[in-house]
Amino acid sequence: MALLKLEEIAVEYGGINILKGISLSVQEKEIVAMIGSNGAGKTTTLSTIMGILKPATGAIAFNGEPIHGLAPEIIVARGVSIVPEGRRVFSSLTVIENLKIGAVVRWNRSQANRDVDEMLTLFPSLKRRARQRAVALSGGEQQMLAIARGLMSHPKLLLMDEPSMGLAPLIIEDIFKILQEINRKGTTILLVEQNAKLALEFAYRGYVLVSGRIAKTGPRETLLEDDFVKKAYLGQHDIT
Residue 171 lies in a domain: yes
Per-residue confidence in pLDDT tens, the chain, 240 aa? 899 999 999 999 888 999 999 999 999 999 999 999 988 999 999 999 999 999 999 999 999 999 998 999 999 999 999 998 877 898 899 999 999 988 877 667 778 889 999 999 999 999 999 999 999 999 999 999 999 999 999 999 999 999 998 889 999 999 999 999 999 999 999 999 989 999 999 999 999 999 999 999 999 999 999 999 999 998 764 433
List all residues 6 or more positions away from 170 whose beta carbon is below 8 Å from its beta carbon. none
Residue 106 lies in a domain: yes
> Over the Cα atoms of the chain, what is R_g?
18
Q: What is the pLDDT of residue 234?
A: 87
Residue 101 lies in a domain: yes
Is 6:213 a contact under the CB 8 Å cutoff? no
Residue 79 lies in a domain: yes
Residue 235 lies in a domain: no
Its pTM stands at 0.92
Specify the CATH number for the domain of residue 166: 3.40.50.300
Residue 36 lies in a domain: yes
Residue type at 93 in one-letter notation: L
Q: What is the pLDDT of residue 240?
A: 31
Q: What is the pLDDT of residue 236?
A: 63
Q: What is the pLDDT of residue 235?
A: 77
> How many domains is the chain partitioned into structurally?
1
The beta strands (E) that lie in the chain are given as 4-13, 16-26, 31-35, 57-62, 65-66, 80-83, 157-161, 188-192, 205-210, 213-219
Residue 227 lies in a domain: no
Residue 219 lies in a domain: no
Q: What is the pLDDT of residue 104?
A: 79
Q: Which residues span the domain enclosing 58? A: 4-194
Of 204, 163, 194, the C-alpha closest to 27 is: 204
List all residues 6 or more positions away from 118 whose beta carbon is below 8 Å from its beta carbon. none
